[in-house]
Chain A
Amino acid sequence: MAGSMKAVKLRIKSVQSTMQITKAMQLVAASKLRKAKERADESKPYLETMLETLTDIANGNTDYRSIYTKPGENDKKWLYVVIAGDRGLAGGYNSNLFKFVEAEIKDKEDVTVLPIGKKSVEFFKHRNIPILTEEYAEVAKTTISDCFQIAKLICGSYGGGGFGHVFLCYTNFVSMLSQVPMSTSLLPLSDLSSDNKKSDGKPRDLILYEPNSETVFDAIVPEYLAGILYTSINISYASELAARRTAMEAATDNAEEMIETLSLYYNRARQASITQEITEIVAGAES
């Protein structure tokens, strides 16, 4: 009996120290989350309005002089920008996103990835999927000027024998408890169009570009990419922290529950050993 008591006591201690860690992580995530959520909330309108505006433009566009509006000439070359976390222990945050990306790229032949976040780099390296650059491995430290650099890089490798399509995968922050992996097309803009086939036969509203579509898109596209990247990184980061907070909360609760059952065990064992001792003493006195 004494042996099992000691084992239970050790186990309680180890669970307790784990709980301390998960509790601390939960608190850290919660306090970081407050700031991150603010930034995500600020970013959301830009991301949504930008995509909406460009979808409208893509729907109405009839001007295909700019390489950014032309439907892909290199239809088989895909670039995926995947924004994941820097660290694990965030519940299903990373694995959900990777599962989602896997499903997306499954039937595509020539896929290159631009990973953002350490976990993202590790995952695609492990999978032997070609990586464009590993420079942006830290999500939390990506600044707006980094986003402009990434945008420049994407623009440089897009079109003219490079990539024909550019996609972005990130995790949308729906609420504190729910984060959903999402993907959106970035380039060419015609990918954003909902009625690619012009099936309704309605005449399109012409759009006036000043000075001309090429110049306009050359100026807009890098900024649009940088803006979208920056905002979706903010949103993903908030998602990561929210996922971590929820996961750690669950872990702490579990640990508490475990400690409760274990202490019950321990007390029972202690009681049993006392009872046994008494019985032994009484039996010894009687004989």
Chain B
Amino acid sequence: MAATYHLQVVSLDGLEYEGEVQKILLRTIDGDVEILARHTNYCTAIGMGTAKVVLEDGKERKAACIGGMLSVMNGEVRVLPTTWEWSEDIDVERAKAAKAKAEERLKDKKLDNEARIRAEAKLYRALVRIGSSSGHDHLNDQ
């Protein structure tokens, strides 16, 4: 059986997960990263994407994971995202509405730069959420 390690996922909404896992795969600002047991001390910032956690018993869980940081200190792995939503908890209707709204805003040619960046970020977040909940996420495209 694959070696496991202790993972803690704590978002602004509280403790999302704590326990032994085999691995976690998530998208950082520098690309996708997979952490296995006995990883060296490590620290990076999380981008936007679907995270995949493989639990002790080999079961997989997926979540939309946006922003924050990932740290590995002496075998202890902590994921501190700004938002973390397990794929089964995502409100798809809301995400779709957010996507439509963001697209609508981006059509406006006169939008100033900051508002454009914000709308783009919103659109991307909505896409990540929709992707994570339906299974059509970037992890399947590879």
Chain A interface (Cβ < 8 Å from any Cβ of B): 41-43, 45-46, 49-50, 53, 56-57, 60, 144, 205-211, 215-216, 219-220, 223-224, 226-227, 230-231
Q: Across the interface, which residues of B come within 8 angstroms of A211, CB to CB?
A: 29-30
B100 beta carbon closer than 8 Å to chain A: no
Query: Which of A42, A207, A224 is in CB contact (< 8 Å) with B69?
Result: A224
Task: Name the contact of A223 in the complex, choosing from B30, B41, B82 (C-beta under 8 A).
Answer: B82
Contact indicator A57/B82 (Cβ below 8 Å): no
Q: Which residues of B contact A220 (CB under 8 A)?
A: 43, 45, 68-69
Structural contact, A43 and B12, CB atoms closer than 8 A: yes
Q: Is B132 an interface residue (CB 8 A)?
A: no
Distance in Å from the Cβ of B28 to the closest Cβ of chain A?
Answer: 7
Q: Are B44 and A56 in contact (CB under 8 A)?
A: no
The minimal Cβ–Cβ distance linking A219 to chain B, given in whole angstroms, is 3
Residue tally, chain B, CB below 8 Å to A:
26
Whether the pair A45, B69 counts as a contact (CB closer than 8 A) is no
B12 touches A60 (CB 8 A): no
Q: Are B69 and A56 in contact (CB under 8 A)?
A: no
Which residues of A are found within 8 Å of B33, using beta-carbon distances? Answer: 210
Residues of chain B within 8 A of A53, CB atoms compared: 69, 71, 73, 78, 80
A56 near B80: Cβ-Cβ < 8 Å: no
Distance between Cα atoms of A127 and B22 in the complex (Å): 56
Q: A49-B80, A50-B10, A223-B45 are in contact. List 16 more A-B contacts (CB 8 A).
A: A41-B14, A42-B14, A43-B14, A46-B80, A49-B8, A53-B80, A57-B43, A205-B73, A206-B41, A208-B41, A209-B42, A210-B33, A211-B30, A219-B29, A223-B67, A230-B12
Q: How far is the CA of A220 from the CA of B15 in the complex (A)?
A: 19
Considering the complex of A and B, which 7 residue pairs feature the smallest CB-CB distances, nearest first?
A: A219-B45, A42-B14, A207-B41, A49-B10, A45-B15, A56-B73, A220-B69
Give A163 to B99 CA distance when docked, in angstroms.
39
- Most B CB atoms within 10 A — which of A56, A57, A220? A220
Closest-by-CB residue of A relative to B10 is A49
Contacts of B8 in A (CB 8 A): 49
Please give the distance in Å from A195's CB to the nearest CB on chain B: 15
Report if B134 contacts A (CB, 8 A).
Answer: no
**Residue B113 is within 8 A (CB to CB) of chain A in the complex:** no
Q: Are B40 and A208 in contact (CB under 8 A)?
A: yes
A278 to chain B, nearest CB (A): 72
A56 to chain B, nearest CB (A): 5
Interface status of B142 (Cβ within 8 A of chain A):
no
- List 19 A–B pairs whose Cβ atoms lie within 8 Å, in order of A's numbering: A42-B12, A42-B13, A42-B14, A46-B10, A46-B12, A46-B14, A53-B73, A53-B78, A57-B71, A207-B73, A210-B30, A211-B29, A219-B29, A219-B45, A220-B43, A220-B69, A223-B69, A224-B69, A227-B12
Q: Mark B42-78, 1 if CB is under 8 A from A, else 0.
A: 1111000000000000000000000111010110001
In the complex, what residues of A have CB within 8 A of residue B133's CB? none
How far is B54's CA from A160's CA once the two chains are assembled, in angstroms? 44
Closest to A48 in B: B10
Bound Cα distance A46, B82 (Å): 10
Render B8-36 as a binary contact track against A, CB cut-off 8 A, 1 for contact.
10111111000000000000111001000
Task: Give the docked Cα–Cα distance between A208 and B72 (Å).
Answer: 9
Q: How far is the CB of B35 from chain A (nearest CB, A)?
A: 12
Q: Which of B11, B68, B74 has most chain A Cβ within 10 Å?
A: B68
Nearest Cβ distance between residue B100 and chain A, in whole angstroms?
A: 21
